């Protein structure tokens, strides 16, 4: 992929992550955070385009959503947590060449990345609330967010793979 396409794709995916994160927010009062659909787009970016795109789109898109949505106190932890989520997923998925179908490895990678997200937000919540107890309430919500993101995105990824649009983007 040439640099112009790569830059354009990263910008589009940063925006998609931010929009998916901001579109539907369910507040979690105990941690002063929220759950959302943004993970679905982090999964998409990482699985289809690799760890660098997942890192950039996941970290920047999610942090921008926090800043634009009134959750600025979460922006820096989100930058790290979501960026690493994208990196982890992309590294697991892209150890072998992509074929023309959705793979079990893609699903496993999403759940490992989602698991990191749950742990990362628990740890960040512990720091922000100065308590190991308070952020426990965020764990079930973050699990729902991770699983919901996977349920939403895998049919989309399947359709994108079948459409052959990736051949155009990678040339």
Cα-based distances in Å from 22 to 35, 62, 136: 10, 9, 23
Any idea what the Cα angle at residue 137 is, between residues 132 and 141, rounded to 5°? 130
pLDDT exceeds cutoff 90 at 74: yes
Mean pLDDT of the chain: 92
CATH topology classification for 3-169: Arp2/3 complex 21 kDa subunit ARPC3 (1.10.1760)
- The pLDDT of 112-140, averaged and rounded, is 95
What are phi and psi for residue 35, nearest 5 degrees?
A: -105, 160
pLDDT exceeds cutoff 90 at 67: yes
pLDDT of residue 100: 62
Give the global pTM.
0.93
- The pLDDT of 148-161, averaged and rounded, is 94
User: Hey, what are 2's tokens?
Assistant: 């040439």
Separation between Cα atoms, residue 50 and residue 138, nearest integer Å: 28
Q: What is the DSSP string of 21-67?
A: HHHS-EEEGGGTEEE-SHHHHHHHHHHHH-HHHHHHHHHHHHHHHHH
Could you tell me the residue ranges of all domains in the chain? 3-169
Lowest-pLDDT range of 48-52, 95-99, 119-123: 95-99
Q: State how far Cα 104 lies from the chain centre.
A: 18
Separation between Cα atoms, residue 139 and residue 17, nearest integer Å: 21
Separation between Cα atoms, residue 39 and residue 17, nearest integer Å: 7
Which residues, listed in sequence order, are joined to residue 34 by a DSSP beta bridge? 27
Identify the residue whose tokens are 């539907």: 24
pLDDT of residue 98: 60
DSSP-derived letter for residue 77 is: H
Run of H or E including 98: none
């Amino acid at each position: 992929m040439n640099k112009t396409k790569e830059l354009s794709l990263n910008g589009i995916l940063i925006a998609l992550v931010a929009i998916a994160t901001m579109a539907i927010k369910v507040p979690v009062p105990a941690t002063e955070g929220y759950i959302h659909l943004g993970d679905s787009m982090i999964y998409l970016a990482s699985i289809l385009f690799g760890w660098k795109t997942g890192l950039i789109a996941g970290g920047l898109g999610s942090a921008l959503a926090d800043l634009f949505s009134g959750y600025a106190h979460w922006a820096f932890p989100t930058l790290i947590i979501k960026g690493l989520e994208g990196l982890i997923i992309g590294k697991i998925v892209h150890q072998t060449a992509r074929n023309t179908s959705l793979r079990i490895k893609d699903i496993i990678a999403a759940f490992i990345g989602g698991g990191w997200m749950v742990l990362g937000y628990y740890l960040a919540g512990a720091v922000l609330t100065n308590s190991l107890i308070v952020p426990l309430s965020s764990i079930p919500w973050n699990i729902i967010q991770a699983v919901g993101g996977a349920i939403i995105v895998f049919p989309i990824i399947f359709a994108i793979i079948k459409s052959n649009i990736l051949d155009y983007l990678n040339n």
